Amino acid sequence: MPEGDTVWQTAKRLDTALAGKVLTRSDLRVPKYATADLTGRTVLDVTPRGKHLLTRIEGGLTLHSHLRMDGTWRVYANGRRWSGGGLAHQIRVILGTADLTAVGYRLPVLELLRTPDEDRVVGHLGPDLLGPDWNPELALANLLADPARPLGEALLDQRNLAGIGNIYKSELCFLLGATPGSPSAHSPPTARPSSPPSPSDSWKPTANAPSARPPAPSQPPPRPALRPTAPQASAPRPLRLRPRTPPLPPLRHPHPHGRPGRRLPRAPHVLVPHLPGRTGSGHHRTPQNSAPYD
């Protein structure tokens, strides 16, 4: 699923292409909003909220979309071919202006609502990592509200902080030195240093210790060689020749595998069946009986 930074970049592209421009084309390919016409309205802005996209339009309307796993928005110049987004039947929304067209492919969530009702779809989200409402203290308090909850699950809960996905969840757990299944209170961010200590900071002199650093440990002795450096003479090994397999006797019958009813010379476990048209050994199949075996 696209994470908060991907959604933020998508919102930035859409805002650059649509904000402040009048819509000359509007096509919502969702049955519930198939008759909605936004043509003639001005796009005010496109704002990301966590993993949600809010396209605010003149008249107190907001087009809410979510990419989920497969959704994507593409911006094309008018007159250019729409390529890279997907097939035509995967288009869910088209918003066009005088010079650019924004096309939404495979959007699993697409709804048109009034702008004052945005809290109905994004009001449950916690502080947005890339939004103006980011509050690290509140996000940390939300994560530690349930100390026994697995850390990975708490990070993915958008009610704690919005925008985290599997990639950033894994990276944060790595930086904290904790597994995603460990409790949330196992390694809080404030209990760990911002960066791992360097080897130069691992030793500090005490009041009674000299200020000089302790001598560096001596180099360990070299490991013994796994093989002797000088080749050792050894008795020559006798050459063993594999006995040659005697050739098979030539076939005396026109049938490629021997007589009917006999076993194959190279596969004794296979028995050659009796073929129609064989009245005796040494005779070929008759033309009238060879058709079913062609």
Catalytic-residue membership of 171: no
- Amino acid identity at 126: G
Q: Is 237 exposed, middle or buried (0-12, 13-18, 19+ CB in 10 A)?
A: exposed
Per-residue confidence (pLDDT) for residue 139, from 0 to 100:
93
Q: Which of 80, 81, 240, 244 is catalytic?
A: 244
Take residue 276 and report the two structure tokens written for it.
């129609």
Number of Cβ within 10 Å of residue 132's Cβ equals 6
**pLDDT given at position 94:** 97
Q: How far apart are CA 252 and CA 26, in angstroms?
A: 85
At 193 the pLDDT is: 41
- Provide the pLDDT for residue 176: 87
Strands (E), 80-209: 91-96, 100-105, 109-114
Surface-to-core class of residue 164, CB atoms within 10 Å of its CB (0-12 exposed, 13-18 middle, 19+ buried) = buried
Residue 291's pLDDT is 39
What pLDDT is stored for residue 110 in this prediction? 96
C-alpha span between 28 and 64 (Å, rounded): 12
Alpha-carbon span 161 to 128, nearest angstrom = 6
Residue-level pLDDT at 4? 85
Print pLDDT tens along the chain (294 aa).
Answer: 678 889 999 999 999 999 999 999 999 999 999 999 999 999 999 999 999 999 999 999 999 999 998 999 999 999 999 999 999 999 999 999 999 999 999 999 999 999 999 999 999 999 999 999 899 999 999 999 999 999 999 999 999 999 999 998 999 899 988 899 999 876 555 444 444 444 444 334 444 444 445 555 566 667 666 665 555 556 677 777 777 777 776 655 555 555 555 555 666 666 556 555 544 444 444 444 443 433
Task: Supply the DSSP string of 41-52, one letter for each residue.
Answer: PBEEEEEEETTE
Q: Could you tell me which of 123, 223, 228, 144 has the C-alpha nearest to residue 188?
A: 144
pLDDT in the model for residue 67: 93
Distances (CA, A) of 171 to 207, 248, 286: 40, 68, 77
Residue 262 has which token pair? 């006999």
Task: Tell me how far CA of residue 119 lies from CA of 2, 54, 64, 74, in angstroms.
Answer: 22, 11, 11, 26
DSSP annotation string for 137-192: HHHHHHHTTSTTSBHHHHHH-TTTSBT--HHHHHHHHHHHT--TTSBGGGS-GGGS
Which residue in the list 49, 51, 74, 92 is annotated as catalytic?
Answer: 51
The type of residue at 87 is L
Which pLDDT does position 108 carry in this prediction?
A: 94
Question: In the annotation, is 247 catalytic?
Answer: no
Query: Among this protein's residues, is 118 annotated catalytic?
Result: no
Phi-psi region of 208 (alpha: psi -120 to 50; beta: other; left: phi over 0): alpha
**What pTM was computed for the model?**
0.62
